[in-house]
Amino acid sequence: MRCPHHARRDAVQETLTACRAGGEVNTGALAGGLFGARLQIIGAWLFLNVFSVFAGYFIIGRPILFQSLGIDLLPTLPRYWE
């Protein structure tokens, strides 16, 4: 039984061989990789722009705001710093 990496390597090798020989390029092999790359970029964007902002407020900003100004934007959640 071959590992899945060899199957991808073989598909890439076939695509490269077709391009070098002047043959027709199989774009179907490339489309799956591009879709996966786009999903990874969307996931990274969501992590950086959504999760990190919430985590930054929840862990760092919330205790500082509450203790210094008495402001709590999430009053129903337990205050873990107390």
Q: What pLDDT is attached to residue 37?
A: 83
d(CA 16, CA 12) in angstroms, rounded, equals 6
Q: What pLDDT is attached to residue 68?
A: 94
Residue carrying structure tokens 């899945």? 4
Q: What pLDDT is attached to residue 13?
A: 78
Whole-model pTM? 0.46
Q: What pLDDT is attached to residue 35?
A: 80
Question: For the chain, what are the domain ranges?
Answer: 4-69
Say if CB 14 and CB 26 are below 8 A apart. Answer: yes
d(CA 20, CA 23) in angstroms, rounded, equals 7
Instruction: Give 9-47 as a DSSP string.
Output: HHHHHHHHHHHHTT----HHHHHHHHHHHHHHHHHHHHI
In tens digits, what is the pLDDT along the chain, a chain of 82 residues?
556 666 677 777 777 777 776 666 666 656 666 788 888 999 999 999 989 888 898 899 999 999 999 999 889 989 988 8
Alpha carbon of 34 to those of 1, 39, 82: distances in Å? 27, 9, 48
Q: What pLDDT is attached to residue 24?
A: 65
